[in-house]
Structure 1
Amino acid sequence: MSILQQLVQRAQAAPGRIVLTEGEDERIITAGVRLSQDKVATVTLLGNESVIQEKAAAAGIDLSGVAIIDPRTSALREPLSELLHEIRAKKGMTAEKAYELAGETLWFANLMVKAGHQDGVVSGAIHTTGDVVRTAIQVIGVDKAFKMISSFFLMVLDQPHHPRQGGMVFSDCGLIIDPNAEQLAEIASAAANSYQSLSGKEAKVAMLSFSTHGSAAHAEVEKVSEATRLVKAARPDLSIDGEVQLDAAVIPSIATRKVKDSEVHGEANVLVFPSLEAGNIGYKLVERFSGAKAIGPLLQGLAQPANDLSRGCNADDVYYVAAVTVVQGQL
């Protein structure tokens, strides 16, 4: 059974309430109905009800079992705007501005989660990652265990030609452009937690670089080496190698030759990239050339579940990101 099937089954065992921000998009409608029919989640679509119904009818989709809310006319707009004003008043937000924002789907959705009306939110099919993350941080907030929000992709390797079967976590491929050593260490710790919570297996972390244990001298190498030291000091429970090149992270025979006293032994399932540039290129190479599924970008470090979608997503992507969001809400 693939990791995606496992996650769907875990979600079905205790379905969560998921609000889908961009409810007027046919991809979102299709995924929302499927999530409801499969009993993965209780789904709420946000948007103009007439538009959603017209698009569903044109696509031959039956909307029974899916709730539709228009934030502009909802009775929840007023109390949610009051909540937003309470949260952001010290930052200068007026009651009038809070009411205006509460009528927008992205803000309304996050406020529903904050207020306890929903267990998680999925956005990003239309909204930019910047808007999705900024709103989640301002409304839901950062988990007390973290100092920042980062992201990861769940890379699903389930094709016959994949030399390794299962799931891997790639982080950070969507948010932190040039993390310093402290930030990179927090990304690694969060990514390890994400892998373990979603897979139920031990995380084996590789801190990636163009150097393996000092084979090259550069400030970027030193950054990864220092980040590795910080993670090991803070998380002695983790199996972690760093700094290591990719081949030493994922091929046991190369790890044996290159990595003295390896804790991962070439079997890394969590890859931590030294920069957003490397991470974004890396996950897309694996996705496009190997046919791996890339689920995300998924957010880690928030107080409650909120996840992002690629604007190039399809209905399957939305379905699986929502299933992951349900599982995150169970933890």
Structure 2
Amino acid sequence: MRFIGSLIEKLQRHPKRIVFPEGSEPRVLQAARQFRSLRLGAPILLGDRTAIKEAAEKLNINLEGIRIINPATSEDLDNFARRFEALRRAKGIRFEEARAAMLNPNYFGSMMVAMHQADGLVSGTNEVTGSVLRPLFQIIKVAPHFTTASSCMIMEVEDTRFGEEGVMFMADCGVIPEPTVEQLADIAVTTAQLAHKLLNVRPRVAMLSFSTKGSAMHPSVGKMQAATALAIRKAQEHGLEADFDGELQADTALVPDIARRKLPESKVAGRANVLIFPDLNAGNIASKFVQHIARANAYGQIMLGLDRPAADVSRGSNAHDILGVAAIVGVQAIDYKSLYPDAGNHIPGE
């Protein structure tokens, strides 16, 4: 909670509006109440008003200061539908289909964020990843000057020798199954940018593999080597001060004694606070191992490279996890343009 505590302090000074599409879910209700009680901003719950109030009553949750919107009765429904129709016209969608889509809280919530009626979105407690990502990618899309939308998990472990005082950023753990060299470089840079914004430290990025500096030969090793070189160039183009090294094995990236034996001159080895995985299998599996075996506080998936802040939480998340993710999304929204220049300028359907 050290990490989230520091973000809460920032967000209390700059409160934000976070929309939660799963408004009647008990864990979301608890997180929204905490979000409001901690003075982090205005939580917005989507769904049937009666169902949300009944769920809150069962949990003895006070809904004062929490906004509730039912997409089906919202005055914005038709306007959102027209804008979605314009966005998807090339796909042949008609107004009736667009309106039906906007009745889905994930679509409605994504449009709220796109239209600046909310500062960020947190969903996924009862949804598979595709149900959350599809509306985001169709409505919000990739930020200007970026080509890759991905995600990262932020892990906080008790052992402060790892990462940055126990905090590690791991990507991509939720979106791209087989990233290309360019996508891996984009993932590395956007994750490093987020680490810098949230921790205010210099990112030390390890591009992970089963090999360290050519100790094994395989096309995937060459892929990580190429991605490392490209990430360094992209970071320079974006004015990001960070250290990148790869390819590195996980122990070389995280354990100082091993790093001193293998790569004594590396600025990253043994001190990495950002871990970039070669594919989604590795990232997803590793993040769940760390979460459950190391009993880490796990926050994510935090979306990277999108035009607006959003997150897709795990269906196994508890209220504390959801609150932490909402705080991260809120802090991102404080100055999102520092992460993605020119972000937020596009209005859907215009």
State the TM bucket, normalised to the shorter chain. over 0.9
Q: Which residue of the partner structure matches residue 210 of structure 1? A: 210
Distance 1:290 1:313 in 2: 16
Q: Which residue of the partner structure matches residue 325 of structure 1? A: 329
Summarize deviations over 1:113-135 as a string: whole Å, max 9, x none.
Answer: 11111111111011211121111
Summarize deviations over 1:178-218 as a string: whole Å, max 9, x none.
Answer: 11211111111111111111111110000001100000011
Q: Which residue of the partner structure matches residue 83 of structure 1? A: 83
User: What is the letter of the counterpart of residue 78 of structure 1?
Assistant: D
**CA root-mean-square deviation:** 1.4
Matching of residue 298 in structure 1 with residue 322 in structure 2? no
Matching of residue 239 in structure 1 with residue 243 in structure 2? yes
TM superposition score normalised by structure 2: 0.91
Does the residue aligned with 2:220 lie in a helix, a strand or coil?
helix
Matches within 5 A, 1:91-110: 91-110=91-110
Distance 1:140 1:304 in 2: 7
Q: Which residue of the partner structure matches residue 121 of structure 1? A: 121
Distance 2:12 2:131 in 1: 30
Does the residue aligned with 1:313 lie in a helix, a strand or coil?
coil
**Offset at 1:261?**
3.8
Distance 2:269 2:54 in 1: 55
**Offset at 1:91?**
2.6
Counterpart contact for 1:110–1:139, Cα < 8 Å: yes
Q: Which residue of the partner structure matches residue 199 of structure 1? A: 199
Matching of residue 280 in structure 1 with residue 247 in structure 2? no
Matching of residue 251 in structure 1 with residue 255 in structure 2? yes
Distance 1:97 1:18 in 2: 26
Does the residue aligned with 2:71 lie in a helix, a strand or coil?
coil
**Offset at 1:163?**
3.5
**Offset at 1:13?**
1.0
Matches within 5 A, 1:52-201: 52-157=52-157, 159=158, 161-164=159-162, 165-201=165-201
Matching of residue 316 in structure 1 with residue 320 in structure 2? yes
Counterpart contact for 1:22–1:126, Cα < 8 Å: yes
Runs of 4+ residues deviating >3 angstroms = 161-164
Segment of structure 1 superposing worse, 17-26 or 286-295? 286-295
Segment of structure 1 superposing worse, 57-66 or 91-100? 91-100
User: What is the letter of the counterpart of residue 109 of structure 2?
Assistant: A
User: What is the letter of the counterpart of residue 261 of structure 2?
Assistant: R
Summarize deviations over 1:144-177 as a string: whole Å, max 9, x none.
Answer: 13112101001112x2x55433311000111111
Counterpart contact for 1:2–1:166, Cα < 8 Å: no
Counterpart contact for 2:120–2:310, Cα < 8 Å: yes
Q: Which residue of the partner structure matches residue 273 of structure 2? A: 269
**Offset at 1:260?**
5.9
Provide structure 1 residue ranges, at least 5 long, that are not aligned to the other structure. Answer: none
Counterpart contact for 2:49–2:70, Cα < 8 Å: yes
Matched positions, count? 329
Counterpart contact for 1:162–1:290, Cα < 8 Å: no
Q: Which residue of the partner structure matches residue 227 of structure 2? A: 227
Distance 1:301 1:318 in 2: 21
**Offset at 1:62?**
1.0
Identity among equivalent positions (%) equals 39
